[in-house]
Amino acid sequence: YQRRVRGSFKRQLNERPSSPVKRSKTESKKRKLEESEEQPKKKLLKTISTSKVKIAMKTNNSNQNKPVKKLTIKAFKVLPKLADNYSEETWKKLQEAIQAVQKSERVGTSLEELYKTVENLCDHKMSDMLYQKLQSECQKHVEGQLYLLLERKTATNITFLSLVNNSWSSHCEQMLLIRSIFLYLDRKYALPNSSVKSIWDMGLDLYRVHILMNDDVKSKTIAGMLELIEIERRGETVDKGLLKNLVRMFCSLQMYCEYFEKRFLDATELFYVQESDVKLRDSKVAEYLLHVEKRIEQEGERVLHYLDSITRKPLITVLEKVSLQNSIDALITKGFDELMDENRISDLARMYQLFNRVNGLKKMKDAWNAYIKKRGSELVNDKEKDKTMVQDLLQFKARLDNLLKDAFQKNDDFTYALKEGFEYFINVRQNAPAEFIAKFVDSKLRVGKNKGTSDEQIESLLDQVMAVFRFINGKDVFEAFYKKDLAKRLLLEKSASIDAEKAMISKLKTECGANFTNKLEGMFKDIDLSKDIMTSFKEDLKSDIDLTVSVLTTGYWPPYTPVDIKLPIEMMEHQEAFKQFYLSKYNGRKLVWQNSLGHCNLRAHYPKGVKQLSVSLFQAIVLMLFNDSEELTYQEIVESSGLDDSKGELKRTLQSLSCGKFKLISKEPSKAPVMEGDKFRFNTTFTAKLVRLQIDSIQMKETVAENQKTKENVFQDRQYQVDAAIVRIMKTRKKLTHTLLISELYNQLKFPIKPADLKKRIESLIERDYLERDSENNNTYNYLA
């Protein structure tokens, strides 16, 4: 029976009564009978006296001689007749019972008997009438209930809710009881008949039509419920059970979506519109987002606690739309940059997740990109912070990478925006970042400053540097400075670790290709080769000259201008010997001595102690002049050393010897800078703590002139590349408009260049008759073979 009942409910309501049906003993027996009717072959005992069955009994008898006894029970052939006024009398009893139930009083007659009477009436074709009577009885009662509800003047909507709740609960209980009494009617008459509602459904229908559809009741109930919800939203506790019951009531009566939910969503929207307005104005973005997150959680719980699950999606959508979607721009403008500056990872992560719900990620990504460009440009353009630029860039990148990982879930669009932003701002100030990165790497690969750092730390630092280097457009500037500094490190033996040097080269190779690193690798080869040459030279000579020569292949190394100086005779002899040796081994080569790169170890006998001096060649030559004279004027030094001062070389050298930390010679007057009228003496009072002194730091330093020259070389080289590109393009195309030529050049050239500079090269080529302007059209160029 239970199964059948559920089936009928599915047809009509998709709902179950809120309290489980208590089975009476008769019902469980009924179930068994149910099964027996489906299995006519098996004959079971029926307790009701409507029919009789045959029972076949088999007795287990050991004595096979005695006959088997059989008992037969037959059904009556004729139905017993009912008394004439049976229906009226029975109806009276039933009616009493119904009313007792409805008054929550004890029912007089036994339930079993009532059940039987219903069964009798139905079997004697009085179901119809019975049903009608039952229905009208229920209706009467329900109408009475309405009256009671409306009659009580309640103070608030909320108190009204309890009344409704009570009325509904009672109704449900009562209908259940009534139904169990009239179960037979339900099963035999209502269920098979599709035009007749089941008793339960009939009860619901009555309740709906007569009570809940009543405008007063309906509006008061809904208003009361919404008030309670608002109170809860404002932070106080309310009776969730009450709300749950009422919601279930609406659902059972099929009035949830149309009447309750609609108004609920409207009220929700209104509430949150007001709240967002105020909160957006008064609180910071981070607080606001935290609050929205909490609200979303709360509304979710609200659905779980008492609303119907169907409301979940529209509710959250309304909340999101009102609190987030409408304010995306305002939130970003108000607080995004601030959150970024303060590196508020969890707040940004929250913003990301919330915006993800409302399609706000694109705008957030744009703000992210704009922030990177803004702060990055500031970083790069601030000339006062040039010394720390690379360090700052690395920190900036690391911070952004963290945010990308922790707050933005490595979102592809955000990753791309980071790359694009970085590439943009790092090239805003051309050439400077490339130069500084080269210097930074030089400082990390040099001896001295990095004593605390392990190899792994240096390696990971270089990796970070490469990640930033990747974005730079004018990599040739980097190459020029890197090469220059590498040369110094190699020649003056200032590399901290050859392994680290080689690691850096291979990183550059991966990043920029073999072309970029060919020359650098050539430099290493030259050093190794020079060592071999020196070994065989010393063997060959069979004596130990204290001379080490590095042979540099032109083209691999930065361009150096040879400086002529007057070397002491011994040095000259050694140099000559080597030159002969080398040229005998390698035909057809030309050797040019680069005096500016040479350095010496001198032993100096000072009155207060012998010192071992590590000096540059120029310094050595000047010092050795004092072997022959106590005092020398500036002019005399100029003549004797042969060091011309066109680039301030001599003055720098003298300054480093007489005005620096170690005054190896004394100057008159003693104040820097060195002037042409100065006099110099061997400093007899010189003293220092250590025996070994490094005076040659002068060679490692970069002068302003040197810096300028490196840059100019790069620009000059770029000009050649541009010219070559123009000629190459025009040779292929023969005839090309100005705009097309410019765009083609930008495609081919790998370094940044202004269109005005390109124009200058074009004009220069016109003048040199490589191209001409077309006679018809100024905008077009023709190739001149």
Partner 1 sequence: FLQYADEQNKDFINEEGLERFFQDLGIELSDILTLIVAWQFGAETFGEFSKEEFIEGFKSLRCESTRDLKNKLPSLKAELKDDRCFREFYQFIFNYVKGPDTKVLDLNMAVELWNVVLKDRFKFLDLWTSFLKERHNKAISKDTWNLLLEFSKHINATMTNYDDEGAWPVLIDDFVEWATPKISSVDKK
Binding residues vs partner 1 (CB under 8 A)? 737-739, 742, 755-756, 759-760, 763, 766-767, 773, 778-781
For partner 1, the closer of residues 638 and 766 by Cβ is 766
Would you give the DSSP letter of residue 80?
A: P
Nearest to 661 by CA among 692, 629, 695: 695
271-275 own/partner pairs: CB under 8 Å, 24+ apart? 271/230, 271/233, 272/318, 272/319, 272/322, 272/323, 273/322, 275/323
For partner 1, the closer of residues 511 and 774 by Cβ is 774
For partner 1, the closer of residues 121 and 753 by Cβ is 753
For partner 1, the closer of residues 390 and 762 by Cβ is 762
Q: In what order do the strands lie in the sheet with 665-668?
A: 631-633, 679-682, 665-668
For partner 1, the closer of residues 59 and 739 by Cβ is 739
Cβ contacts of 703 within 8 Å, gap of 6 or more: 652
For partner 1, the closer of residues 551 and 740 by Cβ is 740
- In three-state form (DSSP H/G/I as H, E/B as E, the rest C), the secondary structure along 260-293 is HHHHHHHHHHHHHHHHHHHHHHHCCHHHHHHHHH
For partner 1, the closer of residues 687 and 779 by Cβ is 779
Phi, psi of 397 (to 5 degrees): -65, -45
Nearest to 518 by CA among 550, 556, 467: 556
What's the closest the beta carbon of residue 715 comes to partner 1, in angstroms? Answer: 16
Dist. CA 266–CA 244, nearest whole Å:
20
Nearest to 666 by CA among 648, 647, 686: 686
Q: Cα torsion at 380, 383, 384, 390 (round to 10°)?
A: 40
SS3 600: strand
For partner 1, the closer of residues 290 and 742 by Cβ is 742
For partner 1, the closer of residues 18 and 780 by Cβ is 780
Would you give the DSSP letter of residue 613?
A: E
Cis omega (within 30 of 0) for bond into 673: yes
Q: Which residue has the tokens 């002194």?
A: 693
Cis omega (within 30 of 0) for bond into 314: no
| CA atoms within 13 A of residue 55's CA, in its CB half-sphere | 11
For partner 1, the closer of residues 357 and 733 by Cβ is 733
Q: In what order do the strands lie in the sheet with 599-606?
A: 599-606, 609-616, 692-694
Dist. CA 732–CA 207, nearest whole Å:
92
Dist. CA 324–CA 321, nearest whole Å:
6
Q: Cα torsion at 413, 418, 423, 425 (round to 10°)?
A: 130
Cβ contacts of 440 within 8 Å, gap of 6 or more: 390, 391, 465
Phi, psi of 333 (to 5 degrees): -60, -40
